[in-house]
Amino acid sequence: MESLWRKDIEMPSFRTLEGEVKTDVLIIGGGIAGILTAHFLHSRGVQYILVEKGRICSGTTQNTTAKITSQHGLIYSKLVKKYGAEKAAMYYRANEEALDEYKRLCLGIDCDFEIKDNYVYSVFDREIPEQEMSALKKIGCKAMFVDSLPLPIDIAGAVRFSNQAQFHPLKFLGAVAKNLNIYENTFVREMKGNTAVTDKAVICAENVIVATHFPFINKHGLYSLKLYQHRSYVLALENAQQLDGMYVDEDKKGLSFRTHGDLMLLGGGSHRTGKKGGNWAELRRFAAEHYKSSAQVAHWAAQDCMSLDEVPYIGSYSANTHRLFVASGFNKWGITGAMAAAKLLCDCIMDNKNDYLQLFAPDRNISAFQLLANTVESAIGFVGFTGRRCPHLGCSLKWNRAEHSWDCPCHGSRFDEKGTLLDNPANGNLKIKPKKW
């Protein structure tokens, strides 16, 4: 299983950090959020170090569908209802600015960047996109209602955002990362205040940014209660259908479509990590029915951190930590979310004003019902008789037959058959006793 983006590309490599080091800023995590943050700090002359436990872009970033859009599902009607039109408009502007930044940066990078319209559709309920159009009008966003799409499914209605984009994420990030101060195979095992301890180094930093997908420092911020993880699956198909646009169901369990060259990227089969879902089997059934002449050339899966109110957590790690920052909870929209995070975190480091600080603040109020519901869902995951417990917080692991992995239904950590860590927040491997023959 390897994503399409990994095929025929050589990412830049970096040495392992050793010894005792001091720096103004330590960035933990070499995915898109960490690399973009390092890029902005580098361009402003700020001293920094970025450390990655393995190779850069080897986690969630390499598994994205790489849509660059400010249309994150039909989110704006929810934001207007929950936070009001002003904050919903701020969310829109933050992501539009992120889109514009990609357009600027990609001008000088060969990364298959293309301007495309983005569509979010509803299969069963026309009222949902109609409500979204009403909310978009309130925040001053020009969008269009669409009655039909060039997809092999019937829809009730859809909303179109024009002049969005798509690209090859690893071609882009490989070019951005090559001149940055990055260390690979440098796994932060422990934090002592703002000092990071790895296998071969101790890093003392004035500022620390945790960009590790799921925040791994458990004693601050309550992220184990404020986040959960969701898996989704992708097939790259040849001889399927050419589409001029990007398409996604407003339902988290629905399908998504985009093309890359002559290939169709069909996504879906989603489920909460550790639960059952359609996975690739669902996508293969759809392809067999609707794209009868198609053939699979690649397949992969992505894991996304989901916040409880559909807004990412970007800013101070918690109210009780000093110069410790976080970026997480991008809700399947990590491309623009990571860009918005990088710009905001850079401003935090430099003590600059940022209009979006309160909007994304990790310590903002989350409804008691949402917290309770996620806590109960996590608590259910502790019950089980598999005999294998997640080293993160002791949840009972579930066997994922489709991907041959041990998955944690509480917080989303994953391990392969031998116990090697695949996805955090666990910070170490699973100990599996060898079979006695």
In a domain, 217, yes or no: yes
- Label residue 1 by pLDDT band (50, 70, 90): confident
Give the mean pLDDT of 219-223. Answer: 88
pLDDT at 170 over 60: yes
Number of domains in the chain: 2
274-303 residue pLDDT tens: 888 899 999 999 999 999 999 999 999 999
Question: Is there a domain that residue 279 lies in?
Answer: no
pLDDT of residue 431: 79
**pLDDT tens per residue across span 15-52:** 999 999 999 999 999 999 999 999 999 999 999 999 99
For the cut 60, the answer to whether the pLDDT of residue 435 exceeds it is no
Q: Indicate if 316 and 419 belong to the same structural domain.
A: no
Range of the domain at 316: 4-64+170-225+310-360
CATH code of the domain covering residue 189: 3.50.50.60
Instruction: Specify if 71 maps to a domain.
Output: no
pLDDT of res. 382: 67
Query: Do residues 35 and 172 make contact, with C-beta atoms less than 8 angstroms apart?
Result: no
Q: Which residue has better confidence, 402 or 14?
A: 14
Is 209 part of any domain?
A: yes
Average pLDDT, the chain: 93
> Is the Cα dihedral 183, 186, 191, 196 positive or negative?
negative
- How far from the centroid of its chain's Cα atoms is residue 356's Cα? 19
In a domain, 200, yes or no: yes
Q: Same structural domain for residues 317 and 413?
A: no
What value does the mean pLDDT take over residues 223-236?
93
pLDDT at 381: 66
Residue 14's pLDDT band (cuts 50, 70, 90): very high
Mean pLDDT to the nearest integer, 362-388 = 76
Does residue 47 belong to any structural domain of this protein? yes
Q: Is the pLDDT of residue 81 over 50?
A: yes
Lowest mean pLDDT among 132-136, 205-209, 309-313, 395-399: 395-399
Beta-sheet pairing, 201-210 with 324-328: parallel
Phi, then psi, of 144 in degrees rounded to 5: -130, 140
Q: Which residues contact 286 (CB under 8 A, 6 or more apart)?
A: 255, 266, 268
Distance (Å, rounded) from C-alpha 315 to C-alpha 321?
Answer: 11
Cα-based distances in Å from 317 to 214, 312, 364, 369, 373? 12, 12, 11, 22, 23
Helix axes of 76-83 and 127-138: crossing angle, nearest 10 degrees: 60
Query: Is residue 386 within 8 Å of 393, Cβ to Cβ?
Result: no
> Do the domain assignments include residue 401?
yes
CATH number at residue 382: 2.102.10.10
CA-only gyration radius of the chain, Å = 21
| Residue 386, pLDDT score | 59
- Per-residue pLDDT, averaged over 367-383, amounts to 74
Looking at the domain assignment, is residue 134 inside a domain? no
CA dihedral 356, 357, 358, 363 (to 10 degrees): 140
Determine what percent of the chain is predicted with pLDDT higher than 70: 97
pLDDT for 274 = 87
Q: For 37-46, 214-223, 237-246, 371-380, which range has the lowest pLDDT when averaged over its residues?
A: 371-380
Residues 331, 378 within the same domain: no
Band (245; pLDDT cuts 50, 70, 90): very high
pLDDT band at 436 (very low <50, low <70, confident <90, very high): very low
- Per residue in 267-276, pLDDT (tens digit) is 999 999 988 8
pLDDT in tens, 318-368: 988 999 999 999 999 999 999 999 999 999 999 999 999 999 999 998 876
